[in-house]
Amino acid sequence: MRKIMGLSLALLVLCQALSSSTAFSNNFSNDDKFNMTYLYFGKTSGYTQLVDRTKGSLNQIAISFFDIDSSGGLVLTNRYSSSFLNDMHTRGIKVVSFLSNHWNIEAGRNALRDREKLAQDVADAIDLWRLDGVNVDIEGLNELDRDNYTDFVKLLREKVSPGKEISVAVAANPFYINKLWQGSYDYQELAKHSDYLMIMAYDESWQGSSPGPIASARFLERSINYAIERVPKEKIVLGIPFYGRYWKSGSTYGGYGIGLNDIEKIKLKHETYEFYDEDRQSPYLVVNVKPEDDKTYVFGTALSPGFYTIWYENERSIKYKLSLVQKFDLKGTGSWSLGQETPDVWDYYSLCLNGRYFEDIIGHWAEEEIIVAEKKGLINGMTSNMFYPDGSVTRAQMTTLVVQMLELGSGLEHELEHELEHESSSVSFDDVEGHWAQKEIEIANQYGIVFGTGENRFEPEQHVTREQLTVLAERLLKLSEPVVDARKQFEDLRKGTWSYEPIVRMATFKFVKGYPDGLFYPDEIITRAQMTVLINNIEGFVEKPFVKWNEQ
Q: So which residues are the catalytic ones? A: 139
- Taking residue 294's Cβ as centre, other Cβ atoms within 10 Å add up to 10
Contact 66, 122 (CB under 8 A): yes
Please list, in sequence order, all residues whose beta carbon lies within 8 angstroms of the beta carbon of residue 3, skipping any fewer than 6 positions away. 477, 541, 542
**Amino acid identity, position 44:** T
Q: Please give the C-alpha separations between residue 33 and each of 83, 171, 237, 325, 510, in angstroms, as whole numbers.
A: 27, 21, 10, 8, 40
Q: What element of type H or E holds 474?
A: helix 466-477
The dihedral sign for the CA sequence 215, 219, 221, 227: negative
Contact between 61 and 93 under an 8 Å Cβ cutoff? The reply is yes
Query: Alpha-carbon distance 6 to 10, whole Å?
Result: 6
Please give the full DSSP string across 81-134, using - where no structure is assigned. -HHHHHHHHHTT-EEEEEEE-TT-HHHHHHHHHTHHHHHHHHHHHHHHTT--EE
Q: Measuring CA to CA, how many Å separate 349 from each of 4, 14, 220? A: 35, 27, 18
At residue 97, what are phi and psi to the nearest 5 degrees? -100, 140
Selection from 323, 393, 387 nearest residue 360 by Cα: 387
Residue 370 · residue 361 · CB < 8 Å: yes
Helix (H) or strand (E) holding 246: strand 243-248
- Can you tell me the distance from the alpha carbon of 405 to that of 248, in angstroms, rounded to the nearest whole number? 58
Alpha-carbon distance of 4 to 505, in angstroms, equals: 13
Task: Tell me how far apart the alpha carbons of residues 477 and 488 are, in angstroms, rounded to a whole number.
Answer: 25
**β-bridge pairing 306-311 and 282-289:** antiparallel
3-state helix vs strand vs coil in the chain, percent to 5 = 40, 15, 45
CA-wise closest residue to 293 among 266, 318, 320: 266
Q: Is the dihedral of CA 84, 88, 89, 95 positive or negative?
A: negative
Please report, in angstroms and rounded to a whole number, the separation of the first and last CA atoms in the chain: 21
Helix (H, G, I), strand (E, B) or coil at 515: coil
**Under 8 Å between Cβ of 431 and 457:** yes
Contact (Cβ atoms closer than 8 angstroms) between residue 99 and residue 137: yes
Rounded Cα gap, residues 434 and 412, in angstroms: 18
